[in-house]
């Protein structure tokens, strides 16, 4: 039997899938890219709940996107399931190697090392002519066994895939957060020594969390690549990783839905800020973040707690 919350999520997902048929293209595009970024932020939130801030999730976001681009180009395939799978494997392989080193570090060292690895990928891609150097290259539009899901001239497949993946990932991470391993994240953030003497290998837990976050970031990158149709090394640049941290701070870490909803709000805010003030839109975003930090230090999601308290 499904719980009330599960029924609500399934209904909301179904509604959003149907809404894609009538919503304007710009909005479905915005939501798709936002959900892709939301998946990256969801991974970041897992790390943040364990007291780690990564400034290098761009590494996996970019690696996932490039894996999709290179694979579809080399094997001449546009199958969305296969491409997402390739991104997952790519994130898994890279993070299981990089994670061996990073899981030993904490605080600023973790943040800087993660950023360094991301910048190494950026440097490699910029110098790599075969991968389009700083211009990047185009990625083919996805299909599901040849079906491109074209409605009124709009390719809705990426949008639908993004919604389904966001729901599935959200549900899995929600379960994970409530599992003993998920809960140890909070314990590690509080004090990792006490977790060690209870029999938990903190390094192993962080290693696993790092891999989960990397896989989510790779999936996010793959969706972005298929939606935008173009990839470039900027996806690995530190400002991209900073954007994920920005969304995480803005949304809060209180619930798995927070990063997904936060990413949509961020993209909307950025779109309208850019339209309103093309030369100073960053200032609008900065003021928004500053206001949230001052008035809602636990992020936008903390508003739900306030509403709940108010209702009681």
Partner 1 sequence: MLELSNVSTSIQGTEILRDVNLKVGKGEMIGLIGRNGAGKTTLNRTIMGIQPANKGTVVIDGQDMTKAGAHERAKLKVGFMPEDRRLIPALSVEENILLPAWANDIKEAEARLAWIYELMPEVEGFAGRKALQLSGGQQKLVALARALMSGVHILLLDEPFEGVAPALSRRLLEVIKTLKDEGLSVLLSESDYTHSADLVDKVYLIERGSVRLDEAS
Could you say which of 74, 197, 279, 295 contacts partner 1 (CB under 8 A)?
197
Q: Rule CB under 8 A: choose which of 191, 239, 277, 291 binds partner 1.
A: 191
Q: Cβ of residue 105: shortest distance to partner 1, in angstroms?
A: 17
Q: Which residues contact 116 (CB under 8 A, 6 or more apart)?
A: 56
Q: Which is nearer to partner 1, 4 or 178 (CB)?
A: 178
Q: How far apart are CA 81 and CA 92, in angstroms?
A: 16
Shortest Cβ 179–partner 1 spacing (Å): 9
Residue 201 or 280: the one with the smaller Cβ distance to partner 1 is 201
Residue showing tokens 């990063």: 259
175 binds partner 1 (CB under 8 A): no
Helices (H), 103-237: 107-127, 157-178, 180-190, 192-196, 202-228
**What DSSP element (H or E) covers 155?**
strand 154-155
Size of residue set near partner 1 by CB under 8 A = 18
What are residue 147's DSSP bridge partners? 144
Interface pick for partner 1 out of 6, 201, 277, 282 (rule CB under 8 A): 201
Distance CA 286, CA 305 (A): 25
Based on CB atoms, which residue is closest to partner 1, 194 or 306?
194
Please name which of 59, 93, 112, 103 lies closest in space to residue 220, comparing C-alpha atoms. 59
Q: How far is the CB of 200 from partner 1 (least distance, A)?
A: 4
Task: Give residue 275's Cα distance to chain centre.
Answer: 25
Is 194 among the residues that bind partner 1 (CB under 8 A)? Answer: yes
Indicate which single residue of 57, 103, 118, 184 sits in contact with partner 1 (rule: CB under 8 A): 184
* List of residues contacting partner 1 (CB under 8 A): 180-181, 183-184, 186-187, 190-191, 193-202
């Amino acid at each position: 039997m499904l719980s009330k919350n599960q029924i609500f999520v399934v209904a909301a997902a179904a509604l959003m899938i149907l809404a894609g048929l009538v919503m304007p293209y710009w909005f479905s595009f915005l939501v798709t890219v936002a959900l892709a970024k939301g998946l990256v932020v969801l991974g970041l939130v897992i790390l943040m709940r364990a007291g780690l801030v990564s400034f290098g999730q761009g590494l996996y976001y970019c690696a996932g996107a490039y894996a999709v681009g290179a694979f579809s180009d080399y094997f001449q395939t546009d199958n969305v399931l296969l491409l997402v799978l390739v991104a997952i494997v790519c994130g898994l392989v890279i993070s299981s190697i990089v994670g061996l080193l990073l899981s030993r570090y904490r605080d600023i060292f973790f943040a800087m090392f993660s950023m360094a690895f991301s910048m190494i990928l950026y440097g490699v891609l910029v110098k790599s002519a075969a991968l389009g150097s700083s211009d990047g290259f185009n990625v083919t539009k996805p299909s599901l066994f040849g079906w491109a899901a074209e409605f009124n001239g709009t390719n809705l497949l990426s949008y639908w895939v993004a919604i389904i993946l966001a729901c599935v990932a959200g549900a899995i991470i929600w379960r994970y957060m409530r599992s003993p391993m998920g809960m140890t994240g909070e314990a590690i953030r509080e004090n990792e020594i006490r977790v060690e003497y209870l029999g938990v290998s903190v390094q192993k837990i962080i290693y696993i969390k790092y891999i989960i976050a990397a896989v989510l970031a790779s999936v996010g990158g793959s969706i972005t690549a298929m939606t935008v149709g173009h990839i470039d090394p900027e996806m690995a640049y530190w400002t991209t990783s900073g954007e994920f941290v920005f969304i995480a701070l803005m949304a809060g870490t209180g619930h798995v839905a927070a990063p997904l909803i936060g990413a949509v709000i961020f993209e909307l805010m950025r779109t309208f800020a850019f339209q309103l003030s093309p030369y100073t839109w960053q200032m609008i975003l900065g003021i928004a973040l500053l206001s949230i930090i001052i008035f809602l230090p636990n992020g936008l999601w903390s508003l739900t707690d306030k509403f709940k308290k108010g209702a009681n």
